[in-house]
């Protein structure tokens, strides 16, 4: 056994207890030192892991990335890797490459959000903790849906062309100073059940009529916004067009 002493006079000393059930007469365990790494974003991040506890927090992801680990020979099973991933205003995908378990799935980091992950070293590669690759994919997919929103606030125009590509879109045109027609361009990948919430504010000049054009159900009636007031209307996508919720 190796004793660790605080000072030369031996006033305080510590030892380690050998674990029961060890299969070998000699077992080495890396001293539990820690290291935090904060590399700048790059499409491929080459990271050297050499301590028992490593925190990896790359710079904000401004594109997709692949993380490749180079695991030092001194790292022993049980070592921990804590990963912090932050996306910019676009959803980013992070591939877990060399040094990770082959079945560890890629990570989807939703728009303007942070994902935390933990991995444990099994002597060969780093494995996800608590959730397997399938559950990890499901979790990131759920986060993606929760974060997949957009707020649009175009200036007033007699015809407003609006692109809808998110699971939940908030459309808030500037104050209506005249009648307006809303035309939607719907993304081909938009899932049925997606919602569109519209906030319409009329000026003090007169009541304003909002015609629901392309992208809305043909039976959806025009909206009249009384002067100097605000109206709210919500719609749900049925796979073809947006239909009124109420």
Is the domain of 60 the same as that of 141? yes
Task: pLDDT band for 1, please (50, 70, 90 cuts).
Answer: very low
User: Could you give the CA distance from residue 211 to residue 98 in angstroms, rounded to a whole number?
Assistant: 55
- Residue after which a domain boundary falls, among 125, 147, 169: 147
- On whether both 64 and 38 belong to a single domain, the answer is yes
Tell me, yes or no, whether 154 and 168 share the same domain.
yes
Please check whether residues 71 and 139 belong to one and the same domain. yes
pLDDT digits (tens, 9 = 90+) for 132-173: 444 445 555 554 544 578 889 999 999 999 999 888 899 999
- Regarding whether 205 and 224 lie in a shared domain, the answer is yes
Q: What is the pLDDT of residues 172-222, one digit of tens each?
A: 999 999 999 999 999 988 888 899 999 999 999 999 999 999 999 999 999
| Total number of domains in the chain | 2
pTM: 0.51
Query: How far apart are alpha carbons 34 and 240 in whole angstroms?
Result: 54
Owning domain of residue 229: 149-244
Q: Are 69 and 100 in contact (CB under 8 A)?
A: yes
Same structural domain for residues 138 and 187?
no
36 and 135 fall within a common domain: yes
Residues 224 and 182 in one domain: yes
Residues 60 and 75 occupy one common structural domain:
yes
Do 125 and 160 sit in the same domain of this protein?
Answer: no
Nearest to 97, CA basis, from 124, 68, 126: 68
The CATH number covering residue 113 comes to: 2.60.120
Q: Within this chain, do residues 133 and 179 fall inside the same structural domain, yes or no?
A: no
pLDDT digits (tens, 9 = 90+) for 45-80: 999 999 999 999 999 999 999 999 999 999 999 999
Which pLDDT belongs to residue 173? 95
Q: Among residues 101, 121, 147, which one ends one of the domains?
A: 147
Domain identity same for 169 and 112: no
C-alpha span between 212 and 25 (Å, rounded): 78
Determine contact, residues 90/45, Cβ cutoff 8 Å. Answer: no
Under 8 Å between Cβ of 180 and 211: yes
């Amino acid at each position: 056994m190796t004793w660790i002493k605080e000072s030369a006079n031996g006033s305080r000393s510590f030892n380690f207890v050998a674990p029961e059930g060890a299969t070998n007469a000699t077992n080495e365990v890396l001293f539990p030192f820690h290291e935090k790494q904060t590399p700048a974003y790059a499409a491929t991040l080459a990271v050297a892991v050499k301590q028992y506890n490593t925190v990896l927090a790359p710079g904000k992801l401004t594109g997709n990335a692949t993380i490749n680990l180079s695991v030092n020979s001194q790292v022993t099973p049980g070592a921990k890797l804590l990963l912090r991933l932050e996306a910019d205003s676009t959803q980013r995908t992070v591939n877990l490459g060399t040094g990770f378990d082959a079945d560890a799935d890629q990570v989807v980091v939703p728009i303007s959000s942070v994902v935390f992950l933990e991995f444990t070293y099994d002597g060969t590669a780093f494995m996800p903790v608590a959730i397997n690759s399938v559950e990890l994919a499901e979790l990131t997919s759920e986060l993606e849906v929760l974060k997949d929103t957009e707020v649009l606030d175009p200036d007033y125009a007699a015809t407003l062309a609006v692109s809808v590509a998110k699971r939940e879109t908030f459309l808030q045109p500037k104050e209506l100073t005249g009648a307006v027609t809303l035309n939607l361009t719907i993304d081909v990948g938009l899932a049925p059940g997606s919602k569109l919430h519209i906030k319409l504010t009329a000026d003090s000049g007169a009541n304003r009529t909002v015609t629901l054009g392309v992208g809305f159900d043909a039976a959806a009636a025009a909206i009249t916004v009384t002067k100097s007031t605000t109206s709210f209307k919500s719609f749900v996508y049925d796979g073809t067009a947006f239909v009124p919720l109420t």
